[in-house]
Chain A
């Protein structure tokens, strides 16, 4: 009997883990509703805040673009970072650990599937909010903005893989930690306002999250008049570095924490 190569198993694991996410993105209608409406409602609330302040229309665009990336961040937190935590609770993690594949491949599958799901939700947020509030964007910068968007999402899901490995370490407080990674990150990443308003120090700390730089660059390209945090080329470079850095760190961290989790029996220790 011929055994499949390691590469083949790796790729098939990615496809196998991405598949349920892609299928569930439309099959589970209740999730379609929550995953689309939650970022949309948050976006609409913030748009009304700017409207109450009589802000220029481009600020409404800031909020909408923030809402688009918010859908990805929520997916990274709830369906990447905490996923092993849920899997452990459901008894799947021990099965993953026993399977003749790597957790890295499973995480990559989750990332691909999750990115697809988030894309469908964020497109809905973009279209509905832009049409509802009459927001327009500069088409001249659309193509480079799309390129930066793809890079940002890659960096974001690499960070998600890193967080997923770290969450292997957390027990009861994992849920609270994930909860706490919402508004504080929306603040640090400037989801609803120009990143420059945060100042160099806070903005610099926030830049550790790929969304911060990606969002700022995209806004500069499609919403003329956006105050620049740092020049776009530096933001792109930083995001590329983040992709490599977070991917590497996630693998190192995953190996270390998986070993620790096996030693401490955390792979089967349920805390939900």
Chain B
């Protein structure tokens, strides 16, 4: 029991620490404002791009909803993946505290989970504001009373597990580099291209489309759109039912978590063997 309490306390401390570090101890309102500006602008970039090509042709709302929902929920990957993987490197290089986390009684996974979940508050605020603003301004066919919340929450829970798993493994891999600044953003940029967030993966060339179809993020994006928009959603997998897509999300999440665990364990062992946990990285 006491061990569980220690883990819980460690988790709480990690979550708080993650929030404070990611906001750099600035005022929460300022932080949230800045955090929202980026995805909101990203959504409007896509809206203008779409309007430039399609004008005000009928049926544009459905595609705009496709774009906006993808950008809105992408905040979870942006914050969860880039934030957490960068965080591991920052803990070592900038704050020089990774070695203390390793030597503390809290399991490293628990610490990283807490650190990753800290980003969730910003992501939730960002996604909500983008969706609300875009729905009102662009008259998107999103009715809050008709959203399939159980599907949305279940899909998002699985996707977040996958994102945090990938971020943990990627972050540990980054410990191999002396200077890994910007690699978190790079990783999330690659995921952005193959996730179906802003265009259907069918547009990608064959090999990339195949790789994308193994990613849980693609199925998550599909389920987000189906749960938010119902029948009005533009579908990347029209032949699959909601259940089929959820099954694919579940399987790909499990696969991702297994691979992430293997990579994490290998990178962790390598980092310990090479003495990289407390390496001076001239931050």
Q: How many residues of B contact A (CB 8 A)?
A: 45
Which parts of A33-61 form the interface with B (CB within 8 Å)?
A: 33-35, 37-38, 41-42, 44-46, 48-55, 59
State how many angstroms separate the Cβ of A213 from the closest Cβ of chain B.
Answer: 18
Is B46 positioned at the interface, with any CB of A under 8 Å from its CB? Answer: yes
In the bound complex, CA of A197 to CA of B52 (Å): 7
Which parts of A214-253 form the interface with B (CB within 8 Å)?
A: none
Is B37 positioned at the interface, with any CB of A under 8 Å from its CB? Answer: yes
Which parts of A144-190 form the interface with B (CB within 8 Å)?
A: 172-173, 175-177, 179-180, 182-184, 186-187
Is A31 positioned at the interface, with any CB of B under 8 Å from its CB? Answer: yes
B186 touching A183 by the CB < 8 A rule? Answer: no
Known A-B contacts A45-B192, A176-B30, A183-B37; the reply to A271 vs B24 at CB < 8 A is yes
Contact of A197 among B26, B37, B46, B48 (CB under 8 A): B48
What would 23 A/B residue contacts be, using CB atoms closer than 8 Å? Answer: A28-B179, A34-B182, A38-B182, A41-B189, A41-B190, A45-B189, A48-B199, A48-B204, A52-B199, A52-B203, A53-B49, A59-B52, A172-B24, A173-B30, A176-B26, A179-B38, A180-B38, A183-B39, A183-B42, A187-B42, A191-B45, A193-B45, A193-B49
Residues in A with CB closer than 8 Å to B53 are: 50, 53-55, 59
- Chain A contacts to B: CB under 8 angstroms: 28, 30-31, 33-35, 37-38, 41-42, 44-46, 48-55, 59, 172-173, 175-177, 179-180, 182-184, 186-187, 191-194, 197-198, 271-272
Residues in A with CB closer than 8 Å to B179 are: 28, 30-31
In the bound complex, CA of A31 to CA of B182 (Å): 8
Known A-B contacts A55-B53, A176-B26; the reply to A183 vs B41 at CB < 8 A is yes
B183 touching A34 by the CB < 8 A rule? Answer: yes
In the bound complex, CA of A37 to CA of B178 (Å): 19
Contact of A41 among B46, B192, B199 (CB under 8 A): B192
B26 touching A173 by the CB < 8 A rule? Answer: yes
Known A-B contacts A31-B181, A34-B182, A53-B54; the reply to A180 vs B199 at CB < 8 A is no
Residues in B with CB closer than 8 Å to A46 are: 49
Residues in A with CB closer than 8 Å to B26 are: 172-173, 176
Contact of A176 among B34, B52, B204 (CB under 8 A): B34
